[in-house]
Chain A
Amino acid sequence: MSDQVKQPAIRTRGVIRDFKAGQQTIRVLHGIDLDVCPGELTYLVGESGSGKTTMISIMCGILWPTEGEVEVFGTDIYSLTDTELVNFRLQNIGFIFQQYNLIPSIDAASNAAVPLIAQGMGRKEARARAVKMLEKLNIADQADKLPNQLSGGQQQRVAIARALVHEPRLVVCDEPTAALDAKSGRRVMDLLREVGVAEDRSVIIVTHDNRIFDLADRILVLEDGRITHDGTEMPEDH
């Protein structure tokens, strides 16, 4: 199948998002049209307040757009019922949060196993699969440790394992390297590319970390709720 007919991982049309602030309505996104292809590592870049968090939240089905359509692997996600949407996310999307949001009282392997347990898999089996994923991320020796016994980079890898353990087709990352030094940040990005990107999978990363811009397949720049750049490199004026 050629790239031209390949179904986009994400397709948005005319996405508008307004927020109410007292009497005022603030438009954060101004009709975003976007196609994200599978097999790509896509960056969503922009200053604070540019709308990138809102955009990524809408793309992964956790924030309703005011107007517009969002399709993820061909599914119009906002036409689903609440329960269907939650299940869609559980089956198809992996999340990596800036602050990791690991559960502090369960060990690394159990944290990584959360999506599988949420899918209904038995704890033992889910944990075994999570350990395998931790092995891929070279952190299996820390599987029994609690998050507070791990370094920031190790916690980030556990978070990556949690995002990938159920083999989602879309992985969404929010500032995955913000809390890491340059070396660790690049290693995390290498891991994400290695484990997360595949022909039928896509990874979208929200970042403003210019140390890793060169690792992207595609960079989208968002300014004041509009996409102002779409290319393989950052524009020179940024």
Chain B
Amino acid sequence: MIWIAIRMLTGDKQKFYGLLFGIAFSTLLITQQLTIFVNLIERGASGVYNVPTADVWVMDEVSRTTDVNLPMPSTALDRVRGVPGVEWAVPHLRANASVRTNEGDLEGVSVIGVDDATLIGLPKVMLEGDPNVLSQPSSVIIDDVGTTRFFPEGESPIGARLELNDQRAVIRGIADAIPSFTSQVTLYTKYSQALNYVPGTRNRLSFVLVGASDTVSADELTDRIEAQTGLRARTRDEFAQDGVDFIIENTGIPLNFGITVLLGFIVGVAIVGLTFSLFIRDNIKQFGALKAIGVTNAKIRRMVAAQAGLVGIIGYGFGIIGTVIFIWGFSADPTFKGFYIPWQIPIISLAAVFIILALTGWIALRNVLKTEPAAVFR
């Protein structure tokens, strides 16, 4: 009977494709929007993930994220270095500055000052150049977002001069960095050089990056640092999560994406529900005849479930493939750089598809089950 059910469904091509479209569209909308949402809010942690060597981030107690920070006095660095279990501690500066572009426009950039001696604070991978280029005067390393933002395609930014807060900066390398939440261009330079580029107040030290010794865990070290220095210390993972939480708490992004996901679900229910009901209505005489002949309600349920299952599997597959094509298609765009589909999202979409089909299938099935076999003689 399952075979008959499948043929009944696929034989009505318009409705079959309509159902597939409904499920595929819903899956695409839910999966794609959730994927963008997750990747976007994870950008709130990009500043942390771009510095993989730091086990602990130390900051003023009011600082919340890599971008929302209150600079500390330079003495904080020595206080941190004095804490037992600290293998190394280096200064880290993060500030905003303005760059005048070749077209004469002003563009806001992030300036990151990394430790002069060890260059800790730079992203792990360089796309062009070597980290040591920072030892040359006025050197900056630009992130790959900046190369596409400031320079025409095909033009190498290496050697280009920028007017950074009225001072000269020469690009000598390109870093492979995860873009920030706002996809702002980031320039990396030595800490001492960054102090010149960024006009400041008395306190200039944004963070102290710490490496834990082998004898102590990052969690334990954060407790020690906080106890001994009165500063705020967060492990790498904690601070990354802080960045994500900050975006969730302070922007309308979750609500907006949530609305879109909900709309995807509602559109799915509407299209699939309507098409399924039409399909059942068109075949109600056949279902009635089957019931009269001697097909039990349980078998009818299985038939409708098989029809829903087939539509679900194919439609869901198309939706997921659509999302993969979307993410893959935009992977070259810096805005979508590094985007991936977390494994949980297809499962969430699958659950949504299941609910859509269970709901619409149940509504459609009710009409079939309510149909008296005797109706076929009327």
| B81 touches A (CB below 8 Å) | no
Q: Is the CB of A101 within 8 A of B373?
A: no
Min CB distance A236 to B, Å, is 29
Complexed CA–CA distance, A100 and B377 (Å): 10
**Cβ 8 A contact of A105, one of B8, B296, B377:** B8
- Residues of A32-63 whose CB lies within 8 A of B: 53, 56-57, 60, 62-63
Q: Is the CB of A90 within 8 A of B4?
A: no
Q: Is the CB of A101 within 8 A of B372?
A: no
Interface size on A, residues (CB 8 A): 35
Complexed CA–CA distance, A62 and B373 (Å): 6
Complexed CA–CA distance, A118 and B294 (Å): 7
Q: Is the CB of A101 within 8 A of B286?
A: yes
Min CB distance B84 to A, Å, is 77
Q: Is the CB of A97 within 8 A of B294?
A: no
Complexed CA–CA distance, A89 and B11 (Å): 28
Which residues of B have CB within 8 Å of A206?
377
Q: Is the CB of A101 within 8 A of B4?
A: no
Complexed CA–CA distance, A116 and B267 (Å): 40
Min CB distance A40 to B, Å, is 21
Complexed CA–CA distance, A56 and B297 (Å): 22
| A137 touches B (CB below 8 Å) | no
Q: Is the CB of A62 within 8 A of B7?
A: no
- Residues of A134-158 whose CB lies within 8 A of B: none
Assuming the contacts A86-B295, A118-B295, A118-B299, asked whether A101 and B289 have C-beta atoms less than 8 A apart, the reply is yes
| B47 touches A (CB below 8 Å) | no
**Cβ 8 A contact of B292, one of A53, A62, A103:** A62
Which residues of B have CB within 8 Å of A73?
none
Q: Is the CB of A53 within 8 A of B290?
A: no
| B343 touches A (CB below 8 Å) | no
**Cβ 8 A contact of A174, one of B10, B372, B377:** B377
Per-residue A-contact encoding for B1-31, CB less than 8 Å = 1, 0 else: 1011001101110000000000000000000
Assuming the contacts A62-B373, A86-B295, A90-B294, asked whether A105 and B12 have C-beta atoms less than 8 A apart, the reply is yes
Min CB distance A45 to B, Å, is 15
Choose among A87, A114, A119, A206 the residue with the greatest number of B CB atoms under 10 Å from its CB: A114
| B288 touches A (CB below 8 Å) | yes
| B370 touches A (CB below 8 Å) | no
| A115 touches B (CB below 8 Å) | yes
Q: Which residue of chain A has its CB nearest to the CB of B299?
A: A118
**Cβ 8 A contact of A56, one of B8, B288, B293, B377:** B377
Q: Is the CB of B377 within 8 A of A53?
A: yes
Which residues of B have CB within 8 Å of A105?
7-8, 10-12
Complexed CA–CA distance, A141 and B11 (Å): 22
Which residues of A have CB within 8 Å of B162?
none
Min CB distance B17 to A, Å, is 14
Interface size on B, residues (CB 8 A): 27
Q: Is the CB of B377 within 8 A of A97?
A: yes
Q: Which residue of chain B has its CB nearest to the CB of A56?
A: B377
Choose among B1, B292, B296, B373 the residue with the greatest number of A CB atoms under 10 Å from its CB: B292
Complexed CA–CA distance, A62 and B378 (Å): 12
Complexed CA–CA distance, A154 and B190 (Å): 89
Which residues of B have CB within 8 Å of A162?
293
Complexed CA–CA distance, A117 and B378 (Å): 26
Complexed CA–CA distance, A103 and B297 (Å): 18
Assuming the contacts A86-B295, A95-B289, asked whether A103 and B4 have C-beta atoms less than 8 A apart, the reply is yes
Q: Is the CB of B3 within 8 A of A123?
A: yes
Q: Is the CB of B12 within 8 A of A86?
A: no
Min CB distance A85 to B, Å, is 9
Which residues of B have CB within 8 Å of A114?
4, 290, 293
Choose among B3, B288, B290, B373 the residue with the greatest number of A CB atoms under 10 Å from its CB: B373
Q: Which residue of chain B has its CB nearest to the CB of A118?
A: B295
Q: Is the CB of A101 within 8 A of B376?
A: yes
Q: Is the CB of B296 within 8 A of A95?
A: no
Q: Is the CB of A110 within 8 A of B294?
A: no
Min CB distance B355 to A, Å, is 28
Q: Which residue of chain B has its CB nearest to the CB of A123?
A: B3
Which residues of A have CB within 8 Å of B290?
114, 118
Which residues of B have CB within 8 Å of A62?
291-292, 372-374, 377
Which residues of A have CB within 8 Å of B291?
62, 86
Min CB distance A167 to B, Å, is 14
Complexed CA–CA distance, A119 and B299 (Å): 11
Per-residue A-contact encoding for B290-329, CB less than 8 Å = 1, 0 else: 1111111101000000000000000000000000000000
Q: Is the CB of B293 within 8 A of A103?
A: no
Q: Which residue of chain B has its CB nearest to the CB of A90?
A: B294
| B337 touches A (CB below 8 Å) | no
| A235 touches B (CB below 8 Å) | no
The 9 closest A-B pairs by CB, nearest first: A105-B11, A90-B294, A101-B289, A62-B373, A57-B374, A63-B374, A89-B294, A62-B374, A53-B377
Give B residues with C-beta under 8 Å from A: 1, 3-4, 7-8, 10-12, 285-286, 288-297, 299, 372-374, 376-378
Extra contacts, 4 of them, besides A106-B7, A110-B4, A118-B290 (Cβ < 8 A), are: A90-B295, A91-B294, A106-B11, A110-B7
In the assembled complex, 12 residue pairs joining A and B whose CB atoms fall closer than 8 Å, in A order, are A53-B378, A62-B374, A82-B297, A83-B296, A86-B291, A87-B296, A90-B293, A106-B8, A110-B7, A117-B1, A118-B294, A119-B294
